[in-house]
Structure 1
Amino acid sequence: LIRGSWFTGFPWGAGGYAQVELLAAWAPWVGVYGMGLLAAVLAYVLASVVNGILRTIGRWVLAPVSRLNKAKPRAGGHALRSITASGVVISVMALVVLSTLFFSMGQGFERWRKLALQSTSDAGAMRVWLLQGNIAQDEKFEPGTGMAQALEWYPAQFADALRTAASGADTAPQLVVAPETALPLLPQQLNADFWRPLLQGLAQQSETSAVSVLMGLPLGSFSRGYTNSSWGITPQSAAMALGGLQGGQLPAEWESTGGATEGTFRYDKHHLVPFGEFIPPFFRWFIDMMNIPLGDFSRGGLGQPAWTVAGQRISPNICYEDLFGEELAVSFRDPRLAPTVLVNLSNIAWFGDTVAIDQHLHISRLRAMELGRPMLRATNTGATAVIDHLGQVTHELPRLTRGRLEASVQGRSGLTPFARWASRWGLWPLWGGCLAAVLLVIAGRHLARRRSSAP
């Protein structure tokens, strides 16, 4: 809990993630930290039970010897009473452990999870394409290699989506998602000839087969600052932006606003990566000493409004923002405006073909469980996947390949218990529980000392 909160927080590898299967029914109630606490309590109780059993066996074995060595026969009775009391305590603790485990793994699992999800319901289906460019990190920002590939492949996928929709095919998407910094340049750094085909294609669609696009790219300007963002374009906002194109020139406001046009959806990353996206306080000297070419990104607001597409309220998060369930929960304060689908745009090509890909997928699964929402993942190298509201991966692309994932996702409305309390109080209830536990331990030890020192 401390590691996930202090100094901007880095909760990667929290203990609750190891229980994503065994204690999954608890996720919509207490979240990942509560699951970690349950696992720790169960481990402690189990260890105490085993230790108590071993001590009891030892007492039974040594009791006859103790009676032979003592002159008073009452000593054996005292030992027997001690054994009996220990046995009762051990039996109760064992019953608690076994019943909790069986409850989490058996029929009680579904009942407990259904109880948590009883206030949620289906909110309709949406067809999506999730793009995975698989552009090597050491080439991503190189003009002759990675940039050229991105500026060719992603627009080609957008165009293919528009053609598929125009043909009336059942596989036509309603939303196409490109990953974090899929376009590695600012909008105003790309000329009108780049944007015109996409904007025209989006603007000229029929209402019955409309496609919208959500893409990751940097936004901003020198005067306003830069953000790591996702940009959403609907047919309506495309038509408005298209009207601003004059010949081969971009709209003048793009230069000052960094590409933000009226009607266009914009999400700016809120939880920035220390040293990667911002310089922590008091560390500018280190950056200057090491001569690291690093500037600060501007931070987006917490709980930014959702984007309505095809009857769904879409809430993006970027990169490791999906580690912070309490921050995603802020968007659920008003159930009427709460997102029905979560979307994670990531680029973890920095880590190559490592366990980081699996871990990040694991993390997204738990966010889906906590909030009772499907999670779409569009990534550069993996894992690009669709996760349902129960945390199950329903579709996934092979990692480290270039392709698109075509799927249908079922939106959800309503609030889980976790979404309800975390949206209002964040992690404070857990901090309060930890403080209460510490105080109880201190009080227990104090009482034990007083009893041992009493005459």
Structure 2
Amino acid sequence: MSPTAANFGRGKSLGAALLLGALGVLAFAPFECWPLAFVAWGGLFALVRLAASPGRAALIGLCFGLGLYLGGVSWVYVSMHDVGGMPAPIAALAALALSAYLALFPALACAVLSRAVRRPLAPFAAALVFAALIALSEWLRGWLLTGFPWLALGYSQTPPSPLAGFAPLFGVYGVSGIAALCGALLWNAASSLVLRAHPLAIKHSCALASTLLGGWLLAGISWTQPSGAPIRVALLQGNIPQSLKWEPERLRDSLVTYLALTREHPADLTVLPETALPLLFEHLPGDYLATLRQAAAPGELLVGAPTREPGGYANSALTLGPDGQAEQRYNKAHLVPFGEYIPPGFDWFLKLMKIPMGDFYAGPDPQRPLLLAGQKVAVNICYEDLFPDQIARGAQDATVLVNLSNTAWFGHSLAQPQHLQISRMRAVETGRPMLRATNTGMTAHVTPDGRVADVLAPFTRDGLVATVTGTTGTTPYVRFGNLPALLLAVATLALALLGRRPAPPPAG
């Protein structure tokens, strides 16, 4: 092959990787074409196996990641520019930088896979190595530098995907690895069929079908059991624009809106979203808090508001007593970098984003569940539900999960349905109902099997009243966390690489 043809071929592989990454976005909410995950990640596996060197494979993984994250996390630009007021060029550069950083993780996985197959490796063993590397790289992305596991592959496999059945055992990172394995098996079967290697095509097709069947059978297991009497829960969505929420003259709008919604939706437990009351809790009018509590009576009330703590300001969820005073409290433990805390030397970022109260104090992890309406409620705030191990720790002593979010930061983007899909995975992993109260969407009731029982239309001012039954019992994931998935990935790598075929002897 001439150098020109070789360069053209290399260019096509990078372009194909970029397109496959963009295709992968369609596997996630709001599209939820979960089989496309097998096509996209299977295509990535194929390109890496054909790569001439680990460096080339890393470039393929980088392009795949750029296609995936530039498309799937495009809401970062919306958040910084459209809502946060950051100048467009800086917001675009920041979004590109974040996408490039996230793309480093599939690039690393692809480089290691390419190095592993430098010596002959059976197609099935290569598929196992690929699956293990995807699982490990996504766990690393969810942990390094406080973590950002958005669009982890496993999230694309919420119900009705049969792979959701593996979530109570291995969590989202384990499901990521299994989904990558399915993609690699699909490619192996297709390529064997093209090469007329029919026995191999049947072998890989049977392995793929068995994996899907196994997940479907596991989904039929009830890891947890109903606990206590059903309760009526009102999840309120005020739809207050972020650009107006913190303006002093618009404070009354927030207070009046949530008081009216509370009165209109009586329930055993009423939940207001994150920072629904956009003023330090200590500065809110005492008569308003007492009136709000009275409006919810005889039910109980959970309110999102910033508070002043000994360590600084906190992003809190509070229950109110009859006199409007705080009785129980949860302080957000996993803060958003550059949104809720600013690393040293980045004060300029806070000024560009015009973030009010952008440097919070982190609460302890874990915190005891709140006792509300006869249930033990584990609260998490906004993007804390991206971190499965944290939610699993909180779920151990809880019967219900509640997420309070201010999604107005994301505007009209993919973030809201993607965030709901993340919450659905937390419900499946823990076997607990997940209730979401958000400012602009998506406010929802998610059952323990990850099904959305009811959801409000985004960007509407309304309340969702749901009948909810708490659950007790422990899924394997709640008991052991990410450890089984990580150990299985490491063991798979070791067995596949140690058992690979020896290189043929040199000719001559």
TM-score by length of 1: 0.74
Q: Which residue of 2 aligns with 1:274?
A: 337
1:8 matches 2:92 = no
Once residues 456 and 248 of structure 2 are traced to their aligned partners in structure 1, the CA distance between those partners, rounded to angstroms, is 27
Aligned equivalent of 1:95: 206
Tell me whether 1:44 sits opposite 2:184 in the alignment. Answer: yes
2:321 is aligned with 1:215:
no
| Contact kept in structure 1, 2:424 and 2:434, CA below 8 Å | yes
Deviation by residue 1:392-435 (Cα, 9 ceiling, x = unmatched): 1111111101111122112111112221211xxxx233333333
Residues 17/200 of structure 1: CA separation in 2 closer, same or farther (3 Å cut): closer
Give me the whole-angstrom Cα distance separating, in 1, the residues matched to 2:199 and 2:465: 58
C-alpha distance in 1 between matches for 2:431 and 2:210: 26
**Residue 11 to residue 361, structure 1, CA distance change in 2 (3 Å):** same
Q: 1:213 to 1:320 in 2, by over 3 A?
A: same
> One-letter code of the match for 2:398?
P
Structure 2 Cα separation of the partners of residues 328 and 373 of structure 1: 11
Whether 1:398 and 2:457 are equivalent positions in the alignment is: yes
SS state at 1:315 partner: strand
- Provide the C-alpha distance between the structure 2 equivalents of 1:374 and 1:392, rounded to a whole number of angstroms: 9
Matched residue, 2:268? 174
User: 1:188–1:431: structure 2 CA closer, same or farther, 3 Å change rule?
Assistant: same
Q: Which amino acid in structure 2 is aligned with residue 320 of structure 1?
A: Y
Is 2:167 the partner of 1:27?
Answer: yes
Distance in 2 separating the partners of 1:231 and 1:348 = 19
Q: What is the CA-CA distance between 1:199 and the residue it aligns to?
A: 4.9
Q: Report deviation, 1:356.
A: 1.0
Q: Cα–Cα, structure 1 residues 454 and 135, in superposed 2: closer, same or farther, change >3 Å?
A: same
SS at match of 1:131: strand
* Other structure's SS at 2:346 match: helix
For 1:394 and 1:87, the matched residues in 2 are separated by: 44
Q: Give the residue type in structure 1 aligned to 2:447.
A: D
Whether the 8 Å contact between 1:124 and 1:412 is mirrored in structure 2 is no
Letter of the aligned partner of 1:220 in structure 2? R
CA distance in 2, matches of 1:308, 1:272: 24
Match of 1:342 in 2: 401
1:21-56 deviation digits (Å, cap 9, x = unpaired)? 22222222222111111111111122112222333x
Q: Distance in 1 between matches of 2:227 and 2:350?
A: 53
Deviations 1:147-187 (A, max 9, x none): 221121112333455xxxxxxxxxx4000000000001112
Match of 1:65 in 2: none
> What amino acid maps onto 1:175 in structure 2?
L
Aligned equivalent of 1:307: 370
The CA deviation at 1:219 is 0.7
Q: How far apart in 2 are the matches of 1:394 and 1:200?
A: 29
Which residue in the other structure is 2:347 paired with?
287
Task: Tell me if structure 2 keeps the 8 A contact 1:180–1:319.
Answer: yes
CA contact (8 A) 1:175 1:213 kept: yes
Alignment match, 1:150? 254
How far 1:278 moved relative to its partner?
0.9
Q: 1:90, 1:197 → 2: CA distance?
A: 68
Partner of 1:327: 390
Instruction: Please state how far the C-alpha of 1:443 moved relative to its aligned partner.
Output: 2.6
In structure 1, the partner of 2:155 is: 17
Counterpart residue identity of residue 120, structure 1: Q
1:53-92 Cα offsets, whole Å, 9 max, x none, are: 333x2xxxxxxxxxxxxxxxxxxxxxxxxxxxx6544433
Equivalent residue for 2:229? 124
Which residue pairs with 2:39 in the alignment?
A: none
- After TM superposition, give the deviation of residue 441 of structure 1 in Å: 4.3
1:214-257 deviation digits (Å, cap 9, x = unpaired): 01000115x54110010112xxx33594xxxxxxxxxxxxxxxx
Aligned residue for 1:246? none
Aligned match of 2:93: none
Cα distance in 1, alignment partners of residues 349 and 368 from structure 2:
40
In the aligned structure 2, how far is the partner of 1:47 from the partner of 1:199? 58
Name the TM-score, length of structure 2 as normaliser: 0.67
Within 2, Cα distance between the matches of 1:343 and 1:454?
A: 66
Aligned equivalent of 2:219: 113
Q: State yes or no: 1:430 paired with 2:493.
A: no
**In the alignment, which residue of structure 2 is the partner of 1:167?**
none
Is this contact kept in 2: 1:385–1:396, CA < 8 A?
yes
Give the secondary structure class of the aligned counterpart of 2:289: helix
- The 1:442/1:174 distance shift into structure 2, 3 A limit, reads same
In the TM superposition, residue 96 of structure 1 has moved relative to its aligned partner by 1.7
* Cα distance in 1 for residues equivalent to 2:485 and 2:470: 29
Report how many aligned residue pairs link the two structures. 365
Q: 1:201: how far off?
A: 6.0
Indicate conservation of the 8 Å contact 2:259/2:295, yes or no: no
**Corresponding residue for 1:168?**
none
Q: How far has the Cα of 1:144 moved from its partner?
A: 1.5
1:238 matched to which residue of 2?
Answer: 322
Deviation at 1:118, TM superposition (A): 4.2
One-letter amino acid of the structure 2 residue matched with residue 36 of structure 1: S
Q: Does 1:136 align with 2:237?
A: no
CA contact under 8 A between 1:332 and 1:420: conserved in structure 2?
no
Could you say what secondary structure the match of 1:265 adopts?
A: strand
How big is the shift at 1:267?
A: 0.4
CA distance in 1, matches of 2:164, 2:485: 18
1:417 aligns with 2:501: no
Q: Return the alpha-carbon distance in structure 2 between the equivalents of residues 434 and 30 of structure 1.
A: 11
- Which residue identity does 2:484 align to in structure 1? P
Q: Which has the larger helix fraction?
A: 2
Bigger Rg, structure 1 or 2: 1
- The secondary structure found in structure 1 opposite 2:141 is coil
Q: Which runs of 5+ in 2 are unaligned?
A: 1-138
Q: Does 1:228 align with 2:283?
A: no
Unpaired segments of 5 or more residues in structure 1? 58-85, 162-171, 242-260
Deviation at 1:196, TM superposition (A): 3.5
Q: CA RMSD in A?
A: 2.5
Aligned CA distance change for structure 1 residues 403 and 291 (closer, same or farther; 3 Å): closer
1:70 corresponding residue in structure 2: none
Counterpart amino acid of residue 238 in structure 2? G
Equivalents in 1 of 2:340, 2:507: separation in Å? Answer: 60
- State whether structure 2 residue 360 is matched by structure 1 residue 297: yes
From 183, 205, 219, the counterpart of 2:277: 183
